Structure 1
Amino acid sequence: MFYAGIDIAKRKHEVSIIDTEGRALSQSLSFTNDREGSDRLLALFERLSISPQELVIGMEATGHYWLSLYSWLLEKGYDVKVINPIQSDAFRRLSIRKTKNDSKDSLVIAQLMRFGEYSTTRLSEENIHALKQLSRYRLSLVEECGNCKRRVIALLDQVFPEYETLFSDTFGTTSKELLLNCPTPEDMLTISSRKLTTLLTKTSKGRFRDEKANQIRKTASNSFGVTFSRDAFSFQIRQLIEQITFLEKQTEELEKKIAALLRKTNTVITTIPGIGETIGAAIIGEIGDINRFDTPGKLVAFAGLDAAVHQSGEFSGTKGGISKRGSPYLRRAIWMAASRAVFCDPILSKYYQGLKERGKHHLTAVSAVARKMCNIIFTILKENRPYEVNPPKPLRN
Structure 2
Amino acid sequence: MFFLGIDIGKRHHEAALIDDNGKQIGKSLRFSNSKAGSDRLLDFINQHQLLPDNTLIGLEATGHYWLSVFSFLTALDFQVVPFNPIQSDTLRNFYLRKTKTDTIDAVLIAQVIRMDLPDQTYIHSEDHIRLKKLSRFRYSLVDQASDLKRQVIASLDQVFPEYEQLFSDMFGKSSTQLLLQSPLPEDLLEIDAESLITLLNEASQGRLTRDKSSEKVAQLHTLAKDSFGIRVATDVYKLQIQLLLEQLVLLEKQIQLVEQEMNEQIVDQDFHLTTITGIGPVTAATIIGEIGDIHRFERPNQLLAFAGLDASVHQSGDFTASRNKLSKRGSPYLRRAIWQAAFVAAFRDPALSLYYQSLRKRGKHHGTAIGAVCRKLVNIIFAIWTQDKPYEPHINPELSKD
Normalised-by-shorter TM-score class: over 0.9
**Which deviations, in whole Å up to 9, do the C-alpha atoms of 1:258-307 show, x marking residues without a partner?**
01111132522212221111111111111112222222111111111111
Flag structure 2 segments of 5+ consecutive residues without an equivalent. Answer: 396-402
Match of 2:376 in 1: 372
Question: Does the 8 Å contact 1:307/1:319 carry over to 2?
Answer: no
Look up the SS of the partner of 2:15 in the other structure.
strand
Structure 2 residue 64 is the aligned partner of structure 1 residue 60? no
Residue in structure 2 matched with residue 271 of structure 1 by the alignment? 275
Question: Which residue pairs with 1:223 in the alignment?
Answer: 227
SS at match of 2:162: helix
For residues 108-127 of structure 1, the aligned pairs below 5 Å read: 108-127=108-127
Distance in 1, Cα, partners of 2:126 & 2:158: 49
CA distance in 1, matches of 2:117, 2:322: 26
Corresponding position of 2:398: none
User: Within 5 Å, which residues of 2 pair with 1:8-47?
Assistant: 8-47=8-47
CA distance in 2, matches of 1:33, 1:255: 33
Equivalence for 2:254: 250
For the Cα contact (< 8 Å) 1:334–1:370, is it kept in 2? Answer: yes
Matching residue's letter, 1:221? K
> How many angstroms does 1:344 deviate by?
2.5
Q: Would the aligned equivalents of 1:3 and 1:56 in 2 still touch at CA under 8 Å?
A: yes
CA distance in 1, matches of 2:111, 2:334: 30
Work out which of the residue numbers 296, 300, 316 in structure 2 matches 1:296. Answer: 300
Structure 2: which amino acid aligns with 1:57? Answer: I
Match for residue 163 of structure 1?
163
Q: Which amino acid aligns with 1:158?
A: Q
1: CA distance between counterparts of 2:316 and 2:232?
A: 59
* CA displacement, residues 317-374 of structure 1 (integer Å, 9 cap, x when unaligned): 4542111111111111111111111122222222222211211111111111111211
Contact 2:270/2:284, CA 8 A, preserved across alignment: no
Equivalent position SS for 1:270: helix
Matched, 1:133 2:133: yes
* AA at the equivalent of 2:339: W
Given that 2:270 and 2:281 are in contact with CA atoms closer than 8 Å, whether structure 1 keeps it comes out as no
How many residue pairs end up in the alignment? 391
Shift of 1:316: 3.5
Alpha-carbon shift at residue 235 of structure 1 (Å): 0.5
Q: In the alignment, which of 360, 364, 371 is matched to residue 360 of structure 1?
A: 364
Alpha-carbon distance change, 385 to 115 in structure 1, aligned in 2, over 3 angstroms: farther
Residues 1:110 and 1:273: Cα distance change in structure 2 (over 3 Å): same
Helix, strand or coil for the counterpart of 1:161? coil
Alignment partners' CA distance in 2, 1:113 and 1:339: 42
1:209 Cα deviation after fit: 2.5
TM-score of the superposition, structure 1-length normalised? 0.95
* Aligned-partner Cα distance in 2 for 1:117–1:293: 19
How far apart are the structure 1 equivalents of 2:306 and 2:323? 19
| Superposition deviation, residue 86 in structure 1 | 1.5
- 1:186 corresponds to: 186
DSSP-derived class of the 2:98 partner: coil
Structure 2 CA distance for aligned equivalents of residues 282 and 294 of structure 1: 21
3-state SS of paired residue (2:81): strand
* Partner in structure 2 of residue 154 of structure 1: 154
Q: Is the 2:273–2:385 Cα contact (8 Å) retained in structure 1? A: yes
- CA shift, 1:97, in A, is 2.0
Q: Please report the RMSD computed on the Cα atoms of aligned residues, expressed in angstroms.
A: 1.5
In structure 2, the residue matched to 1:329 is 333
- Percent sequence identity over aligned pairs: 50
Does the Cα contact within 8 Å between 1:307 and 1:318 map onto a contact in 2?
no
Change over 3 Å in CA distance of 1:360–1:247 after alignment to 2: same
Once superposed, which parts of structure 1, at least 4 consecutive aligned residues long, lie more than 4 Å away? none
Shift of 1:99: 1.0
1:123-152 CA deviation, whole Å, 9 max, x = no partner? 211111110001000000000000000000
The answer to which of 264-273 and 167-176 deviates more is: 264-273
In structure 2, C-alpha distance between the alignment counterparts of 1:16 and 1:380, rounded to whole Å: 45
Amino acid in the other structure paired with 2:98: K
Contact kept? 1:123, 1:129, Cα under 8 Å: no
Distance (Å, rounded) in 1 between the aligned partners of 2:298 and 2:224: 62
Corresponding residue SS for 1:322: coil
Distance 1:237 1:390 in 2: 49
Work out the CA distance in 2 between the residues paired with 1:374 and 1:91.
32
| Deviation larger for 136-145 or 311-320 | 311-320
For residue 394 of structure 1, what is the aligned residue in structure 2? none
How far residue 241 of structure 1 moved from its aligned partner, in angstroms, is: 1.0
Q: Distance in 2 between matches of 1:322 and 1:154?
A: 32
Matched, 1:386 2:356: no
Asked if residue 69 in structure 1 is aligned to residue 63 in structure 2, the reply is: no
Which string of whole-angstrom CA distances, capped at 9 and with x for unpartnered residues, describes residues 197-239 of structure 1?
A: 2212222314243222121111101001011111101111111
1:9 and 1:48 map into 2 onto residues whose CA distance is 23
Distance (whole Å) between structure 2 residues aligned to residue 26 and residue 351 of structure 1: 62
Q: Is the 8 A contact 1:131 1:261 kept in 2?
A: yes
Long gaps (5+) in structure 1: 392-397
- Give the match's secondary structure for 1:31: strand
Q: Shift of the alpha carbon at 1:179?
A: 0.2
Give yes or no for contact 2:130–2:289 (8 Å, CA) kept in 1: yes
Match of 2:400 in 1: none
Listed one character per residue, the Cα deviations across residues 57-85 of structure 1 (whole Å, up to 9, x for unaligned) are: 11111111111111121111111111111
